[in-house]
Structure 1
Amino acid sequence: MTCTKLFPAAFLLGLSAPALAQDTGGDTAPPPTITVSGSATIASDYRFRGVSQTDQEMAVQGGITVAHDSGVYAGVWGSNLAGWGTFGGANMELDLIAGYRLPVGGGTLDVGLTWYMYPGGADLTDFAEPYAKLSGTAGPATLTAGVAYAPEQEAIGKWYATGADAAAGVFTDPGAKDDNLYLWGDAAVAVPGTPITAKAHVGHSWGQDGLGPNATAVAPTGRYWDWSLGADATWRNLTFNLSYVDTDISDREAAYLRPSFSKGQDGTGNIAGGTVVASLTAAF
């Protein structure tokens, strides 16, 4: 499910990366109409909107984007999964993304859709989520505000009211459909004279307050906050990120979702608790 989810920044880096100039006897060729870029990441945990999708273990991720100079782009991104994040038995998440970026005032508006796929999972795993985000600068800071809204779909419906129901295989409301709304804001400030960029994120989710048909959920407790504070250190095409990621989902608040919503899905361990996530990304 789309550091907080760590991939969007790395995945879309190539959309704003300048094309390499070609040597044509001293003249600079115009930028290509179509550019292809990508990234590969290794991370200590895969946090999607503050919740671990890899059972608090390592994640290997990668993506590729094809962009047209008109602003249209399409891409694919993938990550391994474990525990809560397996979404019906899948050990991989594969996101298909398409969108359009256009200048608005002094900033950029990006609108598109993410199709979350879980190859090898049970039925009713995949779902679609349109999104829009507006980016701009304010002094030394780069600011982004975004919204993602997944319309009613069975994959994110409240089929189980509690984790005990899911463990017993007793549907509370089979066939239920729910929607999900996520609002977020990001800020990044480069530290002058260094390769370091300080970053902050805050987001809020509204969705089902139970479990979907595969005993997981995009917004497990119905509504919650997630946030992160960290920094990037960049050298050539490599970016090392260190961030503290947390949510306001407490053990007590999430108790009714267990054993599903826990490390190892054994009823113990808060997979939405505060943690430090380290990642290394290579852009190409």
Structure 2
Amino acid sequence: MKKFAYQAAVLASLAASATVAMAEDSKSSIAGFSVAGSVAATTDYRFRGVSQSSNNPAIQGGFTINHESGAYLALWGSSVDFGVAGNSTETDASLGYTNKIHFSPSYSATYDVGITHYGYIGSGHSFDRSGIGYEGKNGLDFNELYAKLIFADSLFTGDSLTLGVNYSDDYWAHTKNFWYFNAGYSAPIADTGFTGIASVGYNNFKNKDAMAVVAGGPAKDDSYIDYKFGVQYTVLGVTAELAGVGTDVSTSGVPGALQKPYELGAVFTLSKTF
């Protein structure tokens, strides 16, 4: 608990200081640049359905430097717990470009393309996958390309539909070719102030061994599906989210305590944007 409290304090202070220090600048563009930030606390950090914090709470924060051209640089961090000695923090950096694509004079969508580097402080020499029968480098860091389309007011006024695809050739330490296809949807629930959210993702690995490196278990398949459904409510600028998150990863033959990171679980998150 003390370790988590320390991580929370560090990440929260870094994110808050970065966003607060630049808050005035973000209100008006300077040389075409503006800044936005966010902080969040969650009961379980789930990435593509799988817990990154051993089903324990995590604190997160980051900021994005935007340019009026559509280019941006985003930095984001979270506390993590993989059971890897010396590794307790994930730090990601994304370089991307976003703009509008017009399908007709009256309807357009937003596209977003870029590359993300996923970094894990302290994991460089403390996590060696060669011992579990799969060729790979030490450490957890990897790069990933992404592209997505965002459709506003797709079915109803105020809703949003997102379609995305991601690709990495060294996913989680050289698991070779990996593809991630995903779709997300959000819509206001009548006039209640609540927003319904749902998403589904398809994780495709080169082979069963590659999936075993990332998702664990008996590796009976070379792919898995992750999903999320829930509601959000914003009050005083703080968004509260309660969601069910899980995967269809086979946990047959896996000890009970090790099944939980992949199974359906309730996740509560508080977040604030600046």
Work out whether 1:97 is the aligned partner of 2:94.
yes
Question: Does structure 2 retain, via aligned residues, the 8 Å contact 1:195–1:235?
Answer: no
Work out whether 1:139 is the aligned partner of 2:155.
yes
CA distances 1:186-232 after superposition (whole Å, capped 9, x unpaired): 001012433311010000001152369xx941687430001111111
Identity %: 31
Question: Does structure 2 retain, via aligned residues, the 8 Å contact 1:206–1:224?
Answer: yes
Match of 1:243 in 2: 243
> CA, structure 1 residues 218+273, in 2 after alignment: closer, same or farther (shift >3 Å)?
closer
- Long gaps (5+) in structure 1: 1-13, 23-29, 158-177
Question: Does structure 1 retain, via aligned residues, the 8 Å contact 2:179–2:204?
Answer: yes
> CA, structure 1 residues 282+153, in 2 after alignment: closer, same or farther (shift >3 Å)?
closer
Question: Does structure 2 retain, via aligned residues, the 8 Å contact 1:209–1:219?
Answer: no
- Aligned to 2:173, the other structure's residue is in SS state helix
Superposed, which structure 2 residues align to 1:25-44 within 5 Å?
A: 33-44=32-43
- Cα distance in 2 between the residues matched to 1:35 and 1:203: 31
Match of 2:167 in 1: 149
CA distances 1:225-263 after superposition (whole Å, capped 9, x unpaired): 0111111101232100010111111321xx4xx68xx85
Match of 1:217 in 2: 214
- Aligned to 1:270, the other structure's residue is in SS state helix
Q: What's the offset of the Cα at 1:145?
A: 0.2
Work out whether 1:272 is the aligned partner of 2:271.
no
Q: What's the offset of the Cα at 1:154?
A: 7.6
CA distances 1:146-189 after superposition (whole Å, capped 9, x unpaired): 000002468132xxxxxxxxxxxxxxxxxxxx121100000010
CA distances 1:116-166 after superposition (whole Å, capped 9, x unpaired): 001111234211000000001313231000000002468132xxxxxxxxx
Q: Which amino acid aligns with 1:101?
A: T
- Cα distance in 1 between the residues matched to 2:90 and 2:233: 27
Equivalences, count: 226
Match of 1:108 in 2: 110
Match of 1:171 in 2: none
- Cα distance in 1 between the residues matched to 2:53 and 2:39: 17
Q: Which amino acid aligns with 2:122?
A: G
Match of 2:133 in 1: none
- Long gaps (5+) in structure 2: 1-18, 103-107, 126-137
Q: Which amino acid aligns with 2:114?
A: G
Question: Does structure 1 retain, via aligned residues, the 8 Å contact 2:200–2:225?
Answer: yes
TM-score, normalised with respect to structure 1? 0.72
> CA, structure 1 residues 236+131, in 2 after alignment: closer, same or farther (shift >3 Å)?
same
- Cα distance in 1 between the residues matched to 2:66 and 2:25: 15
Q: Which amino acid aligns with 2:146?
A: Y
> CA, structure 1 residues 56+244, in 2 after alignment: closer, same or farther (shift >3 Å)?
same
Work out whether 1:117 is the aligned partner of 2:119.
yes
- Aligned to 1:271, the other structure's residue is in SS state helix
Superposed, which structure 2 residues align to 1:57-68 within 5 Å?
A: 57-68=56-67
- Cα distance in 2 between the residues matched to 1:186 and 1:83: 27
- Aligned to 1:108, the other structure's residue is in SS state strand
Q: Which amino acid aligns with 2:72?
A: Y
Question: Does structure 1 retain, via aligned residues, the 8 Å contact 2:171–2:178?
Answer: no
> CA, structure 1 residues 198+154, in 2 after alignment: closer, same or farther (shift >3 Å)?
closer
TM-score, normalised with respect to structure 2? 0.74
Which of 194, 197, 205 is matched with 1:196 structurally?
194
Higher relative contact order (CA 8 A, sep 6+): 1
> CA, structure 1 residues 77+46, in 2 after alignment: closer, same or farther (shift >3 Å)?
same
- Aligned to 1:56, the other structure's residue is in SS state coil
